[in-house]
Amino acid sequence: MTRKGIDVSTHQGIIDWAAVKAAGIEFAIIRAGYGKNNIDKQFKRNIGECNRLGIPCGVYWFSYALTVEDARREAEYCIAAVKPYKLDYPVVFDLEYDTVRYAKDNGVTITKALATQMVMAFCSRVEELGYYAANYTNSDYSKNMFD
């Protein structure tokens, strides 16, 4: 079964969630935040509107982790942000090209082994805190950055 969903963050501005629902969007994955406890500027509004309108949702945390421990802390920041809200979809770790660039700019090379360990640390901590976890990735990273 295919479901129609969207991925949103502050980059989409102020979203008319009633129009989104009327357009047939069946779920949303909302950026809760990024890095060291930076909450997305539209997160509370986005998740609040999804909850109010009955749009199933999950969240993602855009990672700027440099270490496994950083990734674990990012999971804790994310869960603290989502606690007041209803989630129907997982809490997702998002490590992308900008993560790798940021790490390189800070003297860290994110290898396949390190990326995999960071995903495992984030997801394990999310599940320890009572939520479902997942890794958000593209086909390039799925093949080349994660075991």
**Res 106: pLDDT:** 98
pTM for the structure as a whole: 0.94
Cα separation values, 54 from 26, 28, 66, 86, Å = 10, 11, 36, 10
Residues of the chain with pLDDT under 70: none
pLDDT at 53: 98
Nearest to 29 by CA among 61, 66, 2, 64: 61
Q: What is the pLDDT of residue 1?
A: 84
Comparing C-alpha atoms, which of 8, 29, 117 is closest to residue 65?
A: 117
* Axis crossing angle, helix 112-128 with helix 68-82, rounded to the nearest 10: 30
